[in-house]
Amino acid sequence: MMIPKTHPRYTSLMLREKISQAMKRGIVHETGLIAHGRGETFDYLIGERTLPVTKGAEKTAAACLIDSTHPVISINGNVAALAAKECCDLAKTVGAQLEVNLFHYDKERVLRVAKVLKENGADAIRGLHPDKKIPDLDHSRANCCSQGIYKADVVVVALEDGDRCQALKNMGKTIIAIDLNPLSRTAQTATITIVDNVVRALPRITEWTKQISPDETQKIIQDYDNEKYLREVLDYITHRLRNFEKAGMELF
């Protein structure tokens, strides 16, 4: 479908189109469309832009990645459809691995997601031959690679489900979650939550990793408070909704 650049929701509609095309190509599961819709709702509420308060979360995520010895970016269908290149760029910048991990597991879809990553510059991709299980997780997302997510000290997840986020945390890992819904179990469970669209958040984290020096990382991590950040995001959304009557559509 041709979307004119002048359309007020151009960017949002382009992302929707990408997800829709990726579902037709067997990269996104049909339920991924619903997950995307939930994300759109929250993106709408934050004004479809990165909130100023999110800077601290991005910076801390970058600091954790710089400090990590074995970082992994977990990839599912929606993430591959929307931000394959951004994932590959971040992986290259911080020396992270990319591991495909699907909720609705299907070997063929894993291969298709891996192909998208390859086309966007990934060198090595994990997840094709999972040989370990994340403890205390009953669904197929428990499958992972011993040299990838299983061994990781820092895992970046997006469009994640809360169960796996908690199970990964229980393994002692630092979890960086990119999730537009500040109320989701993932957002509430992660070590660092970035309430932003994955397409905006990933390049910003990559940029921060280039700006922070290694001797700054510990202080950035120590000073960060994820609960406080999530409260600030909710306060922002509440304020915006309360003032809608006054400011009307200008807010949106």
Question: Could you list the residues that contact ligand ATP (CB under 6 A)?
Answer: 35-36, 38-39, 42, 82, 158-159, 161-162, 178-181, 184-186, 197-198
Nearer to ligand ATP, 162 or 203 (CB): 162
Q: How far is the CB of 223 from ligand ATP (least distance, A)?
A: 25
Choice between 25 and 219, CB closer to ligand ATP:
25
89 or 161: whose CB is closer to ligand ATP? 161
- Least distance in Å: CB of 120 to ligand ATP? 17
Closer CB to ligand ATP, 63 or 178, in the complex? 178
Mapping DSSP to helix (H, G, I), strand (E, B) and coil, where does residue 234 land? helix
Distance of alpha carbon 94 from alpha carbon 210, whole angstroms: 9
Nearest in space to 112 (alpha carbons), one of 178, 28, 47: 28
- Least Å from the CB of residue 218 to ligand ATP: 28
The least CB distance from residue 108 to ligand ATP, in Å, is 22
Q: How far is the CB of 146 from ligand ATP (least distance, A)?
A: 25
Pick 67 or 77: Cβ nearer ligand ATP: 77
Q: What b/e readout covers 214-242, taking b as 16+ CB neighbours within 10 angstroms?
A: eeebeebbeebebeebbebbeebbeeeee
Q: How far is the CB of 130 from ligand ATP (least distance, A)?
A: 20
- Buried b / exposed e across 153-176, counting CB within 10 Å, b at 16+? ebbbbbbbbbbbbbbbeebebbbb
- Cα 8 to Cα 11: distance, rounded to the nearest angstrom: 8
Question: In 57-71, which positions are buried (b, 16+ CB within 10 angstroms) versus exposed (e)?
Answer: bbbbbbbbbbbbebb
Contact predicate 197/19, CB 8 Å: no
Task: Decide whether 97 or 184 has the Cβ nearer to ligand ATP.
Answer: 184
